[in-house]
Amino acid sequence: MTEKTQEEEILGKAYDSRLMKRLLVYIKPYKKYVILAILLNIFVAAFGPLRPFLTKIAIDDYILNSNYNGLKIIALLLFASLILQAIIQYFLTYYTQYLGQRTLYDIRTQIFEHIQKLALKYFDRTPIGRIVTRATNDVESLNELFSSGIVMVFSDIFIIIWILVFMFSMDIPLSLVTLSVLPVLIYGTFLFRKKVRETYRDVRFHLARLNSYMQEHVTGMSVVQIFRKEKDEFKKFSNINADHRDANIRSIFYYAIFFPTVELLSSIAIALIIWYGGGEVIQGAVKLGDLFAFIQFTEMFFRPIRDLSEKYNILQTSMASSERIFKLLDNQTFIKDPEEPVKLNGVKGDIQFKDVWFAYDDDNYVLKNINFSIKPGEVVAIVGHTGAGKSTLINILTRFYDIRKGSILLDGIDIRQINKKDLRKYISIVLQDVFLFSGTIESNINMDNDEISIEQVISAAKTVGADKFISNLPNKYQEEVKERGATLSVGQKQLISFTRALAYDPKILILDEATSSIDTEAENLIKSAIEKLLIGRTAIVIAHRLSTIQNADKIIVLHKGEIREIGNHQELLAKRGIYYKLYQLQYKDQEIIKTI
């Protein structure tokens, strides 16, 4: 039962004026056009009821008076009104839908822009799939509200009003008699909507159960098969499948009863027109053409009433999504830029960590009291066992996260005094897990930055030795890169990410080395690429290669969030401490391969 109430909460979000007000803000830029559309709708709504009125004239004034020319004029008038209505209707629909789509476009970009500004902390805590849903599906579910909901309400209401106007102008008592079925029709329609809503909820619930059963068991099919439970599972499946069927069959009932009822009501109205109206005709109070017109009117009421009753559903679904969207837009997990930032005009590359403490959450410090400094042009290797805090060190230097205590200085300036954009312009990061975007090789190297020319891209690729394999691709630098670089090897992806970093020519380079690849040829390529990359830069390397460590000016040994040893390779080996153990565990094998 808890499942059911959850489902109901999702579907049953009631109208909320606060949310509605916020939603209406989005149509403000198009206010003039919306008002115009509404006015046009009011006008065009009159055409439908106009035709039965003309029919009446045709019958009473011309057919019954044997005036063929008059009849022809009326027929032409009818035809003209029909064409005019169709044309206006087409452009009106197109136009309102366009406004709706524009609004959705605005919301979609606003959400995306907002997400781009959110700090990494938000992405750590929120499943990617959920963020994607906000920017896509949730926006789509506002579609009906914006594209038809707001404007069409006026259309439906005015169609009803126009019919009433025409009816009462023709004959008041006959109007009242005919309209006597209207309350029942309105009540019935709304009752039907309510019932359908309920059964729809029921169907949705069973459908969700069915889908999640199948989803789950397709994923876990190996468990089903290993335990040889196919027969038992099929029984379970059949029960859920049957519940779904029965819920659907229950909902058939309401449709089965509703449509005949509407037909019956319209028959009753026609019967009333024949009986009462006919009686008046006999007495000469009503003309025969009026009966014709009224019979046609009775059929016109149904559509606007049905449409109005659907509007409530549209409101409901849009409430739930808009609440989720606004919650995201209200999220202010930003890393703030300083109010009066220090402008950077070139950077020397002097880095200092002073008493730095950092925790991702609460008091679980992953970095404790970190102190070290790097002189311009120095290469520093960071080593440590898994969970020592190496990656965290990188994260805080580029302000992906802000530190808790202490300070990090770049050329003597606290990095919190610098705009993130400026800071990151001078620091490039090469991550262990190379992330390639769908696009071309070129766009993955220059990251779609027009300021980096194709010549610069090629020259950077040549420097790191990536040019060779890229030139061998059918389309060279324009070769398509699939999502996540699926068609490229691990080594190739790494070379691309080195080229990317080099093309940006950063003053400071942060390199998270991937654990050495098995293929020796690729390994040699990567090794020399790294050497080229480090020339003339301040660099911090999370090292996995012996060669990188040996070439470093300084090695910092992190262990459980603290700096335990600092020195060069030989000094640290002689110490026989943590570095010595790490060397045995991670780097010694590379030496063996080398000597062989």
Partner 1 sequence: MKNLLTLKKYFLKYKTKLFLGIVFILISNSMTVILPILLKDAIDELQRNTTSAILLKYAGLIVGTSIVGGIFRYSIRQTIIVVSREIEYDLRGDFWSHIQKLPLRYFQNNSTGNIMSHATNDINAIRSFIGPAVMYSIDTSIRLLIVVAIMMSMNFSLTIYALLPLPFLSYGVYRVGKLIHEKYVKIQENFSQLTTRAQENFSGIRVIKSFVREENEIKRWRELSKEFLRKNMNLIRIQAMITPILTVITGISIIVVIWIGGGKVINGEMSLGEIAAFVAYLSILIWPVIAFGWVMNIIQQAEASMKRLNKIFSEPYEIDDSEKTDLSIKELKGEIEFNNVSFRYSDNLPKVLNNINLKIPIGSTLAVIGHTGSGKTSLINLIPRLYDVTDGEVKIDGKNVKEIPLDILRTNIAVVQQESFLFSDTVNGNLSYGLRTIDIDKVKEVSRIANFDKDVETFTKGYETMVGERGITFSGGQKQRASLARALAADPKILILDDSFSAVDTQTEERILKNLKEFMKNRTSIIISHRISTVKDADNIIVIHNETIAEQGTHNELVALNGIYADLHYKQLLEKELEELN
Please enumerate in sequence order all residues whose Cβ is within 8 A of that of 258, keeping only pairs 6 or more positions apart, or say none.
188, 192
* Residue 555, amino acid: I
- Site for partner 1, residues 451 to 480, rule: CB under 8 A: none
One symbol per residue from 51 to 80: x for binding partner 1 (CB under 8 A), - otherwise; what is it?
A: x---x--xx--xxx-xxx--xx-xx--xx-
Phi–psi pair at 538, nearest 5 degrees: -75, 130
Question: Residue 390 — left, alpha, or beta (φ > 0 → left; ψ -120 to 50 → alpha)?
Answer: alpha
In whole angstroms, how close is the CB of 445 to partner 1 at the nearest point? Answer: 11
Q: Is 494 helix (H, G, I), strand (E, B) or coil?
A: helix
- Site for partner 1, residues 188 to 217, rule: CB under 8 A: 211-212, 214-217
Nearer to partner 1, 17 or 345 (CB): 345
In whole angstroms, how close is the CB of 190 to partner 1 at the nearest point? Answer: 20
- Site for partner 1, residues 147 to 186, rule: CB under 8 A: none
What's the CA gap between 290 and 56, in Å, rounded?
A: 6
What's the CA gap between 250 and 248, in Å, rounded?
A: 5
What's the CA gap between 278 and 583, in Å, rounded?
A: 106
What's the CA gap between 272 and 257, in Å, rounded?
A: 22
Q: Are strands 351-359 and 365-374 parallel, antiparallel or unpaired?
A: antiparallel
What's the CA gap between 108 and 596, in Å, rounded?
A: 59
- Site for partner 1, residues 283 to 322, rule: CB under 8 A: 288, 291-292, 295-296, 299
In whole angstroms, how close is the CB of 431 to partner 1 at the nearest point? Answer: 7
The three-state (H, E, C) secondary structure of 370-439, written as one string: EEEEECCCCEEEEECCCCCCHHHHHHHHCCCCCCCEEEEEECCEEHHHCCHHHHHHHEEEECCCCCCCCE
To 10 degrees, what angle do helices 172-179 and 288-300 make?
A: 40
What's the CA gap between 132 and 134, in Å, rounded?
A: 5
Please tell me the chain's helix, strand, coil percentages from 3-state DSSP, rounded to the nearest 5.
Answer: 70, 10, 20
Asked whether the CA dihedral 412, 416, 419, 425 is positive or negative, the reply is positive
Q: Which of 221, 285, 535, 574 binds partner 1 (CB under 8 A)?
A: 221
Q: Which of 233, 310, 411, 414 binds partner 1 (CB under 8 A)?
A: 233
Q: Which of 22, 102, 195, 324 binds partner 1 (CB under 8 A)?
A: 102
Q: Which of 21, 28, 32, 421 binds partner 1 (CB under 8 A)?
A: 421
The footprint of partner 1 on this chain (CB under 8 A) covers a number of residues equal to 134
Nearer to partner 1, 257 or 553 (CB): 257
In whole angstroms, how close is the CB of 3 to partner 1 at the nearest point? Answer: 6
Please tell me whether residue 93 binds partner 1 under the rule CB under 8 A.
yes
Q: Which of 180, 333, 449, 489 binds partner 1 (CB under 8 A)?
A: 449
Please tell me whether residue 228 binds partner 1 under the rule CB under 8 A.
yes
What's the CA gap between 336 and 419, in Å, rounded?
A: 9
Q: Which residue has the tokens 């009104």?
A: 81
Please tell me whether residue 400 binds partner 1 under the rule CB under 8 A.
yes
- Site for partner 1, residues 238 to 257, rule: CB under 8 A: 238, 241-242, 244-245, 248-249, 252-253, 255-257
- Site for partner 1, residues 115 to 154, rule: CB under 8 A: 115-117, 120, 123, 128-129, 131-132, 135-136, 140
Please tell me whether residue 425 binds partner 1 under the rule CB under 8 A.
yes
In whole angstroms, how close is the CB of 475 to partner 1 at the nearest point? Answer: 20
In whole angstroms, how close is the CB of 15 to partner 1 at the nearest point? Answer: 26
- Site for partner 1, residues 333 to 372, rule: CB under 8 A: none
Please tell me whether residue 282 binds partner 1 under the rule CB under 8 A.
yes
Please enumerate in sequence order all residues whose Cβ is within 8 A of that of 75, keeping only pairs 6 or more positions apart, or say none.
58
Q: Which of 20, 161, 281, 413 binds partner 1 (CB under 8 A)?
A: 281
Please tell me whether residue 274 binds partner 1 under the rule CB under 8 A.
yes
Q: Which of 428, 492, 547, 548 binds partner 1 (CB under 8 A)?
A: 428
In whole angstroms, how close is the CB of 97 to partner 1 at the nearest point? Answer: 4
**Contact call for residues 504 and 451 (beta carbons, < 8 A):** no
**Contact call for residues 355 and 189 (beta carbons, < 8 A):** no
Q: Where are the beta strands (DSSP E) in 360-395?
A: 365-374, 379-383
Please tell me whether residue 581 binds partner 1 under the rule CB under 8 A.
yes
Q: Which of 31, 259, 334, 531 binds partner 1 (CB under 8 A)?
A: 259
Please tell me whether residue 187 binds partner 1 under the rule CB under 8 A.
no
Q: Two tokens at 182?
A: 């209207």
Q: Which of 535, 585, 591, 593 binds partner 1 (CB under 8 A)?
A: 585
**Contact call for residues 530 and 459 (beta carbons, < 8 A):** no
